Amino acid sequence: MKGKQTAKETRPSKETETKQENTGVGSVYRSRFEKHLDELKWLYMELYDNGSMFAELCDHLEEFYLERREGLKILDRQREEDPGWYKNNDLLGMMFYIDNFAGNMQGVRSKLDYLEECNVNYIHLMPFLETPKGRSDGGYAVSDFRKVQPELGTMEDLEQLTSDCHARGMNVCMDFVMNHTSEDHEWAKRARAGEGEYMSRYFFFKDDTIPNQYEQTVPQVFPTTAPGNFTWLPDAGHFVMTSFYPYQWDLNYRNPRVFNEMMYNFLYLANRGIDIIRIDAVPYIWKELGTQCRNLRQVHTIVRMMRMISEIVCPGVLLLGEVVMEPEKVVPYFGTVEKPECHMLYNVTTMATTWHTVATRDVRLLKKQLDIVNGLPKQYVFLNYLRCHDDIGWGLDYPTLSQEGIGERSHKQYLNDYFQGYAGYSNSRGELYNSDPVSGDARFCGTTASMCGIEKAGFEQDEQAMERAIRFDVTLHAYMFMQSGIPVIYGGDEVAQVNDYTYKEDPDKAADSRYIHRGKMNWELAENIHDPESVEGKVFGQLSQLEKLRKSEKAFVSYADTWTVETWDPSVLCMGRYYDGDKILGLFNFSENDRTAWINETDGMYVDMLTGTRIRPAGVNIPAYGFCYLKKEQ
């Protein structure tokens, strides 16, 4: 097992600083630059055929390297020496909105002790760059890439926060929204005023001839709340491409000025101490008439160039791709071993299939999905999660489900009814998002705790139901920890925070049901984490036990062998992990009834890792909504 690599940022000694000055501050930079120069130039010229713009890019790369503070350069070099540092078993993430979690960035600094107690060493700060009030899409409509939202702090506050996190061995992740800008961005304002240089940074058209041609092949992202892919601007007398919302204008990456400037923004943010850059809406960033404007080869060229630019200037920074698509379209964003693109990708389909399994009590589709992921090369690292800031879309493997007589539209209807609490003996609570009565399609919103039944049990004051709901919540987390990759918890899940319906009282949020699971952190409830009789204490304590176990067992490294085991019970999933002589099995019951898993492992005795009980894994009894971890005796 490789040595532990943290985000520790250290100050260089005077002797080290003098040595660096004597050897030339650019020597490290030049070796990195020369390593990537030929490929970077070839890809750039293939895309843009503009030598002067490439020369400008190269000049700026060195400037950003020289600007990078020395503590970050030391961290870069440590990670260069151990490039797989993030693939070990010691990373646990938590994502949250800064204002909801702690008010502002200084507030987050004051909560670092709490995050350490949560065993978290990777925090994903949801969008915090400047956005216009009421037209931000949760922060994804950026009006200035170099300013923090005033109510959240300043860039200086961000640097203080990242420095504090690094001192504790914590990594910091942020969103980089590169597909579009806010209509309030300086470029957009100047484009709207008719300045050709800035109009060319977007997709402007005088009439609807070309927009109509695009509409023939380009799917709509939000057909109900934001239909179409273009917005008419009466004051400008032009249409502009807006794939997401009318106030989010798509950037034109055919223009090398757009690519260069966005890379400068990327490096500016990396130099503030960010460890992980989440690239938002990656598949959309290249537009081509006559196509779906998704997953085009030029997108991979851009992401590959980003990877090389990062490795030249800030090699300690990881790229996390947001690709919300089926596995065959997600995997290409890892690139190849020789020409890598993203370091990490979200395990989106597994997440959606997990909730399908909750609603159906049938693990077969999930087992197939996990088998696909387990069969991928070990250098591919996925981020695993149960919930995030966004809705759950039911992008499942319907061809497989159709073989069982399950239709797509009827099944989506069932899933949405189930999680609203209307069908399937459900204990879930939540709301729909972007419901389309014509297509019957909709997405779902709710916290993990509410979807597991904790909200319903609390409302009904049903102690038995509460114990069962808590057990299921913990079981789902235990299952997530068994998956190959890095687990990320949504802030509040560690204390079983339920849906927040007060968003309806805010006119800026009332139309967006996703705010039901983006509620403010309830710090009064968080005070109960050490009370073993409270709901918060039970969930927090059991999750903490699992988190520490995961970090202590080498079989949980991302590059371990992983597989599924047949249980001969449609409600029980069994997953295996093996690394360096250690073998662990996880069994998870998605049913409200006690089940027996007939796994018939005949290679020796196992120990229940939570109770210490020795067991022969043949017919293993799993309680309703429960789980167990079994480790093979040496």
| Residue 580 placed within a domain | yes
Question: How many Å separate Cα 407 from the centre of its chain?
Answer: 29
Asked which of 102-106, 222-226, 292-296, 403-407 is least confident by mean pLDDT, the reply is 222-226
In the chain, what percentage of residues exceed pLDDT 70?
Answer: 96
Question: How far separated are the first and last CA of the chain, in Å rounded?
Answer: 17
Query: Mind listing the pLDDT tens digit for each residue in 397-455?
Result: 999 999 999 999 999 999 999 999 999 999 999 999 988 887 778 999 999 999 999 99
- DSSP type of residue 300: H
Tokens of 421: 């609490």
pLDDT value at 16 more than 70: no
Long-range contacts of 12-20 (CB under 8 A, 24+ apart): 12/70, 12/71, 12/74, 17/70
pLDDT value at 3 more than 70: no
| Residue 212 placed within a domain | yes
CA dist 517 and 136 (Å) reads 17
H/E/C letters for each residue in 66-91?
HHCCHHHHHHHHHHHHCCCHHHCCCC
Report yes or no: 570 and 595 within 8 Å, Cβ to Cβ.
no
What is the mean predicted confidence (pLDDT) over 579-585?
A: 97
CA dist 457 and 601 (Å) reads 37
Which residue, of 203, 233, 250, is where some domain finishes? 250
| Residue 58 placed within a domain | no
| Residue 405 placed within a domain | no
Read off the pLDDT band of 109 (50, 70, 90): very high
What is the mean predicted confidence (pLDDT) over 136-154?
A: 96
Output the pLDDT for position 326. 73
Report yes or no: 101 and 495 within 8 Å, Cβ to Cβ.
no
Tokens of 443: 């997405």
CA dist 47 and 630 (Å) reads 52
Mean pLDDT of the chain: 94
Q: By three-state DSSP, how is residue 492 classified?
A: coil
Report yes or no: 173 and 242 within 8 Å, Cβ to Cβ.
no
What is the mean predicted confidence (pLDDT) over 217-225?
A: 89
Burial degree of 36 (CB within 10 A; 0-12, 13-18, 19+): middle
Question: How many Å separate Cα 137 from the centre of its chain?
Answer: 17
CA dist 280 and 243 (Å) reads 13
What is the mean predicted confidence (pLDDT) over 384-395?
A: 94
Residue reference for tokens 């102690």 = 463
What is the mean predicted confidence (pLDDT) over 229-256?
A: 97
Long-range contacts of 579-584 (CB under 8 A, 24+ apart): 579/1, 579/554, 579/555, 580/1, 580/554, 580/555, 581/634, 582/553, 582/554, 582/555, 582/631, 582/632, 583/555, 583/631, 583/632, 584/482, 584/553, 584/555, 584/556, 584/609, 584/629, 584/630, 584/631, 584/632
Which residue, of 222, 250, 278, is where some domain finishes? 250
Q: Is 500 a catalytic residue?
A: no
What is the mean predicted confidence (pLDDT) over 453-482?
A: 98
Asked which of 2-11, 273-282, 286-295, 369-378 is least confident by mean pLDDT, the reply is 2-11
Output the pLDDT for position 520. 96
pLDDT value at 22 more than 60: no
Residue-wise burial string across 442-477, b where 16 or more C-beta atoms lie within 10 A, e elsewhere: bbbbbbbbbbbbbbbbbeeeeeebbebbbbbbbbbb
What is the mean predicted confidence (pLDDT) over 256-265?
A: 98
User: What would the DSSP string read from start to end of 521-584?
Assistant: P-HHHHTTTT-TTSHHHHHHHHHHHHHHHHHH-GGGSTTSEEEEE--S-TTEEEEEEEETTEEE
Output the pLDDT for position 18. 38
One-letter amino acid identity for 391? Answer: D
| Residue 37 placed within a domain | no
For 151, other C-beta atoms within 10 Å of its C-beta total 11
In the chain, what percentage of residues exceed pLDDT 90?
Answer: 90
Output the pLDDT for position 6. 55
Output the pLDDT for position 134. 86
Output the pLDDT for position 155. 98
In this structure, the chain runs to a length of 634
What is the mean predicted confidence (pLDDT) over 390-395?
A: 92
Output the pLDDT for position 19. 43
Find the CATH number of the domain harbouring 593: 2.60.40.1180
| Residue 165 placed within a domain | no
Output the pLDDT for position 10. 60
What is the mean predicted confidence (pLDDT) over 473-477?
A: 98
User: What would the DSSP string read from start to end of 202-248?
Assistant: S-EESSSHHHHHHHTTPPPSBTTTB-SSEEEETTTTEEEE-SS-TTE
Find the CATH number of the domain harbouring 211: 3.90.400.10
221: left (phi over 0), alpha (psi -120 to 50) or beta: alpha
Report yes or no: 175 and 140 within 8 Å, Cβ to Cβ.
yes
| Residue 238 placed within a domain | yes
What is the mean predicted confidence (pLDDT) over 523-546?
A: 97
Burial degree of 309 (CB within 10 A; 0-12, 13-18, 19+): buried
Q: Find the catalytic residue in 322, 341, 493, 601.
A: 322
What is the mean predicted confidence (pLDDT) over 555-582?
A: 97
Q: Find the catalytic residue in 175, 275, 280, 341.
A: 280
The neighbouring-strand residues paired with 598 are 619
The domain containing residue 200 runs over which residues? Answer: 186-250
CA dist 393 and 409 (Å) reads 13
Q: By three-state DSSP, how is residue 127 classified?
A: coil
Helix H or strand E encompassing 482: helix 463-482
Output the pLDDT for position 132. 95
Report yes or no: 53 and 260 within 8 Å, Cβ to Cβ.
yes
Read off the pLDDT band of 325 (50, 70, 90): confident
Q: Is 21 a catalytic residue?
A: no
Helix, strand, coil % over all residues of the chain, rounded to 5: 40, 15, 40
Query: Mind listing the pLDDT tens digit for each residue in 113-131?
Result: 999 999 999 999 999 999 9
What is the gyration radius of the CA atoms in the chain, in angstroms? 25
Helix H or strand E encompassing 384: strand 381-384
Output the pLDDT for position 433. 93
| Total of domains in the chain | 2
Output the pLDDT for position 15. 46
| Residue 403 placed within a domain | no
Q: By three-state DSSP, how is residue 15 classified?
A: helix
Output the pLDDT for position 14. 41
CA dist 179 and 574 (Å) reads 40
What is the mean predicted confidence (pLDDT) over 541-553?
A: 97
